[in-house]
Structure 1
Amino acid sequence: MGVMSRQDVLRADENRLNGVVRAFEEIALASMEESMELHLVLQAIGRRLIELLQISRCTVYLRRGDGRFACHAGWSAAGDMGHLVSRLVSGGDRLTKEAVATRKPILAKDAVNHPLTDHEAMIHFGVRDILAVPMVLAGEVIGVIYVDNEDRDHTYGTAELATAQAFASLAAIAVRQVELRDELDQHNAVIQHKNQQLRKIATISRMLSDATLKGADTDDLLTLVEGFLHRPVVLYSADLNVLAWKAPSSLKLAHPPALPQRARDLQVVRQLRSAEDTSPALLPSLPAIGSPHRRLLAPIVVERRRVGYLEAVEFGRPFVDLEREILDRAAVAIALQLQTESRRAESEAQARSDFLADILNGERDSDSLRRAATARGISPDGTYRLLRVRYGHGDEQRHTGRARRQGLLDLLSERLDLDGLVDTSIPGGDILLLEERPGIDLAERLEPLRPDLEAIGVLHLVLSLPQVGLVSMSAAATELRDMERALLELGARPQLLRMDRAGVLQMLLQDTGIGRAQEFAVTLLAPLLRTDQNDVLIETIRVFLAVNCHIRAASRTLGVHENTVRYRVGKAGEAMGVDLNDFTDAFKVRLALQVHDLLPPP
């Protein structure tokens, strides 16, 4: 072969350059197609480089985050060979390192024995000579192309090396174009996904708000939340006691999947309950204590107070971020519903309280009273009792004001099984309107509550006679006020005073005055109290008078012999200078005992 003229060399260089440009044009156009995936562009790069260099095999590697290179495509004269090389990684061998360091093609002839190559890999793939061509973009090596001729020797001249380097640099631009397009597509997909989530959250928030505004109760809202999440949801009180729950029917749960009692003492749960952050928190599964599922727990906050928690339980598929947002919105909706219910109840209670105050002050005529009572759910013809509550005072009282009254109402509602109590405030206390129920003695049920009532600051309770209808309540309230005043002036011990047992005492106090009544009782009973060290005599005459002075009945009540009763009654009468078998004397002693029972211990 003769020596090529300069013109021939220039023409050959031009042809190679044109070939590189045409190959790049094809690759560039392919990279701009939205449907063209990265591995297809890399395949095209490998195929076109094989054609340009007239060799038989090519693999294309791209840089990973750790600095090494992963094979993404392979092409040979027989076609796509990506399935054979897709798991290969390079970068640890000296050949690749030198190509990356110099940013120039590196040729390793006799690759099986060459000092720069991985000899085992060369033997495995039957490599004769191998050319490593770096893909350089803006001074950075983003990938490496390896080419070789597996079936025959091939001479890599200076022109071919330049062609390989030029094409690899242009191909790097196309690869970056595809990567940027993919990144943009991923970014757009993330934005689109977030927008979808935001639209879904907005729809769910609107549904929850609409339901709340239309008067949905807690049960209705829980049904909505369970429908959104398709998971069990549990509503807890602030103390983590279950208030309500819902679950998909497909789970066939007979009981709420509530947080076990033992879990409530765990540090993670205590931290959640004390944390200032009110966003939903993820509780891990705790199978050792009976909680095998993860839980999302969202605090329910009303006026900066945690009044409860809303929980979703992870049955089946794992939680996703959207569920956290949904649960948070649902907790806000339930907080709004609870706040609305609370304010409505407070408003209704205030209206009933004002109505009771009007009744007690006699400020309504009969017709107006009936209309107002009916409007507030109070029967104008029912049978009622008034309970006047007097609170103690002093620095030792821990319960005061609104909290004290609410404690009283909660206690009476629970223990007396009374709903919708009507109350109004008075100086130093409250007055309650209690509805009489057939077969239930309110006074007998109030007496055992005295220790609990005293614990919240109650000093005296005065219970009126039953009143039919509401018209007579003003007079009954006046009687209670006068009797309470007498108790306070006497310095009476804390007690429940029943007006149905205090009629005679009431007359005595009205006729003689508090001071003279007290003097009368002390004078009559003092000799007996000095004699009766163990209160045996005074207890006996209490029973004796209560059974209308019948010896046998008193004997049965006290559990002693009739002669013992006669002896004690006689001795008590002798001490006081009265005959307890005489009606007048017995009446005097009965009055004295009623006054005495009001007085504080000596």
Structure 2
Amino acid sequence: MTSMVEHGVDAGSAHATGREREVIAAVAEITTEAITDTKLEDLLSLVGQKLCALLGVTRCSVYLRHANGSYRGAAGFCQEAGDITEAVKRQVSGFDGDLFSQEVINTRAPVVIADALNDPRPHRRTMTHWDVRAMLGVPLTFDDAVIGLIFVDSRGREHEFTPADIEVAELFARLSALFISQAMLNTRLRGQAAEIARNNATLAYLADVHHRLTSAVLEGANIHRVVELLSELSAKPVVLYNNSFDVLAWSAPDALKLTAPPVMSEKVRATASVRQALAELSVSTPSAIVPAQLAVGLGRRHLMCRMVIEGKQTGFLGIVEVGRSLEALDANIAERGATVLALQMLSERRQIETEGQARDDYLSDLLRNSRDKEHLVRRGPQFGIDLTNPHVLVRFAVDDATDRLTASAIQSLVTRTFASVMSISPPPAVRLPGAVIVMVRLESDDLDEVGHVRDHVSTIRDRLSGDLSLGATLISGICRTPVDYPHAHRDLREMGSVAKSFGWDERVMTLDELGLFRVIVSSGHVKEALHFAHSFVAPVRQHDDGTLLATWRAFVAADGKVQATASALDVHENTIRYRLGRIKEIARRDPTSLDCLLSAKMAFQVLDLAGQ
């Protein structure tokens, strides 16, 4: 009896020792795999398979704890189906309602489910889906924390997990957790190293992007070339817009064979989602992807980046998803490109302003005659001014007290309007107190060309009148040499004062139209001239119903020619002769004499200019 008991104890001890050797052997194999830097997924699959072999079951699934506290499938194996890792990866354990997994986690001890279909603890639908009959859940515990879970069962079959099985599973899991924890750490470190390497590669690439962009600008590349370079770097179409979404420049890879920029239409921009995406762009969110909007005709995604110059949004840079998908790097390319383009546009704006100021200073020197002739002629071409060509000066009287625009804004508005109406580049101009002086080149040196300019200036004045409070607009005589400009400017200034006193605010006049009146103005005897004009025509005006005075005006305008006067008034020549005789009788002077013609011409011109 004693020997039988002793024999039984020895047999049990031998069995336990045998299972422990199996555990040690399994762990040794896992150790070998772990030190060879095996992938974490492969190591987890091996751990599950070894536990299945130790317990005599056919299926296992391994779950690992994530940073958010959830346990997600990481590996799986089934003798009948082979690798089931992908299916296990779609599973989550420990959620509300999964009391089985929660018990394993909370107790940090193995838990057996003998009847999975009827036990209330496991998730019923999951047990049914995986055809589980009996299952053992084992925690992977490291440093007193559950870092993972292992579930083992035999698909579609009952299985009794003995206390010895549970003890073996717990020992195996505890030993395996050491290697799994180290493998997780290695995987995390490899991931971090890979991320650092990717970041370094990205930074190196972006540094190269920045270098290529800035080098291009420093080498004199214009905006179109920079946009072309951005298209090369992104391998996609790139479009530069202003704030009104007019296309300033665009470029696309040659392989795409695009003949027009792939823009966002006004209809697309009017949709609520696109408006919101563009409105939300800011310093913290400089770029955003506008998704495709098939309903409104936008079939491609657009990466939009806002452009800011001196704190003000001035446009957008877009990279369009054509040929290749948009990538994370595209946002970096767009943002760096937008910065370089903004700096380039600011530089060009400053250069234009500087050149404009220099041209204004040059024109001021020309009008004031403060430089010698040779200097003015030599410097002119650098401002687009050739003093060997004929020009006229146009003087716009501007009420400084009522206009709310700055001096530079008024000058810019005037020159842009000239450019638009006359289809020319913005002409040289200078803003002076109470006036803007514009220098207009003539196509030919004749008065007919001045008449054409006068017609254009009338149109320009009409357009400006909605934005500026304008007085009289005067056009100088033809300036042919540098010394003509100061004289023309002085004449315009003097006649501008006279125009203001006579209330010629709505008129556009050339100084040549003023004739002898200019001589009177320069002499300072305007009041005497008005008195002379009234006295000269008073006898006829007092003895007439207006017919004789109108005939006299027409006769003077026709340079004293009877036939031309008759044609202008549509009467017989003898009628004109009769009326001239009546004028001679009343005025006691011969209207056909040269002296009387000159006096009458000056009198009528003074009265016309005075509006009398």
Task: Find the aligned partners of 2:586 and 2:309 in 1 and give their Cα distance.
Answer: 65
Change (3 A) 1:563 1:325: farther
Query: Residues 557-595 of structure 1: CA distance to partner in whole angstroms, max 9, x if unpaired?
Result: 67x566899599879969995876555445444333433
1:491 deviates by 4.1
Aligned mates of 1:465, 1:551 — CA distance in 2:
31
Distance in 1 (CA, whole Å) between partners of 2:199 and 2:582 is 92
Separation in structure 2 between the aligned mates of residue 265 and residue 112 of structure 1, nearest angstrom: 57
Are 2:272 and 1:247 aligned? no
Aligned partner (choices 432, 439, 442) of residue 433 of structure 1: 439
Distance in 1 of aligned mates of 2:581 and 2:261: 68
Structure 2 spans left out of the alignment, 5+ residues: none
- Residue in structure 1 matched with residue 51 of structure 2 by the alignment: 49
Describe the shift of the 1:505–1:41 C-alpha distance in structure 2 as closer, same or farther (beyond 3 A): same
For residues 275 and 383 of structure 1, do their structure 2 counterparts lie closer, same or farther at Cα, with a shift above 3 Å needed? farther
Establish whether residue 195 from structure 1 lines up as the match of residue 200 from structure 2: yes
Answer yes or no: is the 8 Å Cα contact 1:493–1:598 preserved in 2: no
1:480 aligns to 2:492 (yes or no)? yes
Q: 1:130 to 1:382 in 2, by over 3 A?
A: closer
Mind listing any 5+ residue stretches in structure 1 that lack a counterpart?
A: none
Aligned pairs for 1:361-400 (under 5 A) are 361-394=368-401, 396-400=402-406
| 2:416 alignment partner in structure 1 | 410
Report the AA paired with residue 407 of structure 1. L
- Residue aligned with 1:467, SS: coil
Letter of the 1:314 partner, please give it. Answer: E
State whether residues 44 and 74 of structure 2, in contact with CA within 8 Å, keep that contact through their aligned partners in structure 1: no
TM-score when normalising by structure 2: 0.81
Match of 2:27 among 24, 28, 49: 24
Name the aligned partner's letter for residue 193 of structure 2.
N
How far did residue 167 of structure 1 move? 0.5
* 3-state SS of 2:221 partner: coil
Please give the alpha-carbon distance, in whole angstroms, between the structure 2 residues aligned to 1:317 and 1:19.
55
Counterpart amino acid of residue 486 in structure 1: V
Whole-angstrom CA distance in 1 between matches of 2:421 and 2:573: 43
* Structure 2 equivalent of residue 448 of structure 1: 459
Match of 1:174 among 179, 189, 214: 179
C-alpha spacing 1:283/1:581, structure 2 compared with 1 (3 Å) = farther
Q: Does 1:548 align with 2:553?
A: no
Match of residue 496, structure 1, among 508, 513, 521: 508
Q: Residues 67 and 4 of structure 1: is their aligned pair in 2 closer, same or farther, counting only changes over 3 Å?
A: farther
1:461 is aligned to 2:473: yes
AA paired with 2:417? L
Query: Conserved in 2, the CA contact under 8 Å of 1:463 and 1:497?
Result: yes
Greater shift after overlay, 211-220 or 102-111?
Answer: 102-111
Structure 1 counterpart SS, 2:374: helix
> Which stretch of the first structure deviates more once superposed, 136-145 or 545-554?
545-554
* Shift in Å, 1:223: 0.8
**Residues 44-65 of structure 1: CA deviation (Å, up to 9, x unaligned):** 2133334444x25241231577
| Rounded Cα–Cα distance in structure 2 between residues aligned with 1:19 and 1:273 | 65
Which aligned pairs between 1:563-602 and structure 2 lie closer than 5 A? 583-599=594-610
Q: Distance in 2 between matches of 1:583 and 1:317?
A: 87
Q: Which amino acid aligns with 2:354?
A: S
Rounded to whole Å, the distance in 2 between the matches of 1:400 and 1:562 is 59
Equivalent residue letter for 2:29: E
Letter aligned with residue 73 of structure 1: G
Preserved CA contact (<8 Å) 1:73 1:82: yes
Cα distance in 2, alignment partners of residues 531 and 237 from structure 1: 69
Separation (CA, whole Å) in 1 of partners of 2:177 and 2:542: 116
Alignment partners' CA distance in 2, 1:10 and 1:528: 152
> What is the correspondence of 1:193-232 to structure 2 with a 5 Å cutoff?
193-232=198-237
C-alpha displacement of 1:497: 2.6
Equivalent-residue separation in structure 2 for 1:27 and 1:93 (angstroms): 30
Q: 1:519 aligns with which of 521, 531, 552?
A: 531
SS at match of 1:431: strand
1:61 and 2:73 matched: no
CA displacement at 1:331 relative to structure 2: 1.4
Q: 1:216 to 1:147 in 2, by over 3 A?
A: same
* Aligned-pair CA distance for 1:4: 4.4
Please give the per-residue CA displacement for 1:444-487, whole angstroms capped at 9, x wherever unaligned: 32123222233323323322221223233223322223222332
Deviates more, 1:406-415 or 1:24-33: 24-33
Task: Classify 1:421/1:128 alpha carbon distance in 2 versus 1 (closer, same or farther; 3 Å).
Answer: closer
- Could you tell me which residue of structure 1 aligns to residue 521 of structure 2? 509
Q: AA paired with 1:39?
A: E
Map of 1:40 onto structure 2: 42
Give the secondary structure class of the aligned counterpart of 1:234. strand
Determine the structure 1 residue equivalent to 2:346.
339
Q: Structure 2 matches for 1:69-468, cutoff 5 A?
A: 70=73, 72-74=75-77, 76=79, 80-82=82-84, 86=88, 89=91, 99-100=104-105, 102-107=107-112, 130-137=135-142, 138-140=144-146, 142-148=148-154, 157-267=162-272, 277-278=282-283, 279-394=286-401, 396-419=402-425, 421-438=427-444, 440=449, 441-455=452-466, 456-468=468-480
State the distance in 1 between where 2:547 and 2:219 align: 67
Output the CA distance in 2 between the equivalents of 1:568 and 1:123. 127
Q: Is the CA contact 1:294–1:314 (under 8 Å) kept in the aligned structure 2?
A: yes
- State how far apart, in whole Å, the 1-side matches of 2:291 and 2:358 are: 48
Distance (whole Å) between structure 2 residues aligned to residue 168 and residue 532 of structure 1: 130
Whole-Å separation in 1 of the counterparts to 2:495 and 2:566: 34
Q: How far apart are the structure 2 equivalents of 1:593 and 1:379?
A: 39
User: Partners in 2 of 1:321 and 1:176 — Cα distance?
Assistant: 32
CA RMSD of aligned residues (A): 4.3
Return 153-162 or 490-499, whichever deviates more.
153-162
Tell me, in whole angstroms, the C-alpha distance in 2 between the residues paired with 1:28 and 1:525. 127
- The residue identity in structure 2 corresponding to 1:72 is A
Task: Using the TM superposition, name which of 10-19 and 38-47 deviates more.
Answer: 10-19
Instruction: Give yes or no for contact 1:109–1:128 (8 Å, CA) kept in 2.
Output: yes
Q: Which moved more, 1:504-513 or 1:343-352?
A: 504-513
Distance 1:172-1:236 versus aligned 2 partners, 3 A rule: same
The alpha carbon displacement at 1:74 in A equals 1.5
